[in-house]
Chain A
Amino acid sequence: MKTVKNFMKAILPVILLMLCFPRFVFCYIDPGTGSYVFQIIIAAFVAASFMVKVYWNKIKGFVGRLFLKKEK
C-alpha cells in the first residue's frame, strides 16, 4: 500500500508536468535550453509547497514570539 502511495506521489507531478508545459515561441536554442525551460515548470510545482513552508515558518515565529513575550 505504501509503495502504491509513494508511486502515486511521484508519478502525479510527472503527469501534471506534462500537462503544464509553457507556451512557446520559435527560435534557435542552445543545449542549456532544456534546463532553462524545465526549471520554469518545476519551480511552479515546488512554489506551492514553498508557500506552505514560508507561512508555516511565519506562524511558528509568531507563536514563538508570543510565548517569549509571556515569559518576559
Chain B
Amino acid sequence: MEAQGTLPGSFRDPDGFMFRQQGRLYRQVNHSYRENYDLLIRSGLYQKLSTSELLVSHEEAALNEARTPGAYMVIQPRELPFISYPCEWSFSQLKDAALLTIKIQKIALEHGLSLKDASATNIQFLNGKPLLIDTLSFEKYVAGRPWVAYRQFCQHFLAPLSVMARRDVRLGQLSRIFLDGIPLDLASRLLPFSTRFRFSILSHVHLHARAQRHYQDKPRKTARRALSRFSFLALIDSLESAITGLNWQPRESAWAGYYEHTNYSPAAAEGKRKCVDDFLQLTNPRLVWDIGANTGLFSRLATDRHIPTISLDIDPAAVDMNYRQGRRENNAFLLPLLGDITNPSPGSGWENNERMSLLERGPADAILALALVHHLAIANNLPLARIASLFSRLCRWLIIEFIPKEDSQVQRLLASREDIFPDYHAQGFEAEFSRFFSIARRENIAQSGRFVFLMKSRSAR
C-alpha cells in the first residue's frame, strides 16, 4: 500500500519511502529493511559515515508518524537546501560523486555491509561536497555474493564519465534521458576506438556491454561460481582506478574566459560588484539562484554572506571551473550547476514526476540575473514580458542588470542579425518588468550605460 504524500522519486523502494508532514521531511523504514537498518546502526557504519559527512544524518522520530502499516521505524533526515540531478552536474561533480560511492562501499565492507544501490541520484551536494542521501542503500554483505550494484555503478558513473572525458563533455546530458544511467552498449558505441586500449574502459564498458548483450532476454545459464571477498575488493579497486584515471580539463570556452573579455572599466566592475552586494545586504535572502553565473564571480558575493547559492550556467567548462574553484576555497554555500534558463531541466520519470523540473524547485528568495537579459531578449528572441513573467514566478527578489543596445556586448549580438527589437531599451524594460515587479532600486553603473535594478515580485508569497 502506498501512502498519500509519498515524495516522487522514493516510491519504488519496497524498504521505505520519503514523505512530508507538516512541512517536515520523514523517511519511513519498513519491516522488510529491519535487519539491514539495525546492522547499519549496530555496526557503527552509520555513525562513521554521518560524522564524516559522507551519508546524510538523521534522527529517529516517533513511530506513530508512520504513514502505512508495516513500518519498523520513522526517521527524520537532515533537509538539503536544494536538490540537483546528475544531468546538471559538471564532469568534476559527477567524478566526485562516483568516488564518494566507491569510498562508502569500501567503508561499508569493513563494517560487514555493502551498497545495494549505486545510483547517481542517491548523491546530492551539501556544503560544497557530495553526500549520500539514501540511508536505505545498504544491505548485509554476504560472502561470495557479487556486487548487485556493479551494473548500476558502470551505467550511472563510469559510462557517462568515459564518454564525457573521451568523446565530448556535453554527452553528460544523456543522463537527462536515461534515468537509469547510460546504457553500456550506447557508451561503447560512442567511445573512440582508442579506449579499447585502456584496460579499465575496455573491461568495465566495452566487454561489459558485450556480456550484457550476450545474456540479454535469453533463458540462459547463471554463474555458480562465487566472488571471493578479495576479488570483490579488487573489483571495487579497479572501478576506483578507472574513475580516477578519467580526467577532463576545461579549456577556455567562450564563456569560461568571459571575465577576461568584458567591456567593463575597473571602476564599472567595482561599481557593479558593490551595487549587487548592497542589494544582497538589503534583502538578506535565504537562498539565491545566480542565473548565467559563469564561473561564479557574483555568486561569491552571496556565498561570502553565507547564503546558499545555486550558480547556474549553460557552459560545462564554466560550471566545472566554478565547482573546482569552490572546492579549493572550501566554499560550503556554493552549488554550481549546469542549466539553461531557456530550456530548464524538465520533470521526468514516472508521471513526469520522479525528478522535479528546475522551475518546481523554486522559488528562490532572490535571483541574480546579471548580464543575462540581452542574451535572452536578443540572442533568444524572448519578449521582455515573458522574461519578467518567468522571473516573477521564480523569486521574491530580483537583482537584474539591463544592458542597453549601445553597449558593445549587445552590438556583438546584433552584428550578424537584423535589429528586430524596437522595444529593447531602458524604458521598455522598466515598463514590462513593472507589470510583474515593484521596482525598489535602480542604480546606474559608473562609466557605463548599464543599470542594476532591485525588484520585488508582485506574486511573491
Contacts and interface: CB of A to CB of B under 8 A. Distances in A.
Contacts of A10: 196-199, 202
A50 B235 CA distance: 9
A55 interface: no
Nearest to A41: B211
Given A42-B238, A43-B235, A46-B235, A37 B223 contact: yes
B203 A29 contact: no
A22 B222 CA distance: 9
A25 B224 contact: yes
B235 to A, nearest CB: 4
Interface residues of A, number: 36
Contact of B199 (A9, A34, A37): A9
B207 A40 contact: no
Interface string B207-230: 110011111111111111111101
Interface in A9-58: 9-10, 13-14, 17, 22-29, 31-47, 49-51, 53
Interface string B143-157: 000111011001000
Contact of B225 (A17, A23, A33, A51): A23
B222 A35 contact: no
Contacts of B238: 42-43, 46, 50
A35 B227 CA distance: 13
B215 A40 contact: no
A36 B222 contact: yes
A50 B231 CA distance: 8
A7 interface: yes
B298 interface: no
Nearest to A38: B211
A42 B204 CA distance: 8
A42 B207 contact: yes
Nearest to B238: A46
B25 interface: no
Interface of A: 6-7, 9-10, 13-14, 17, 22-29, 31-47, 49-51, 53
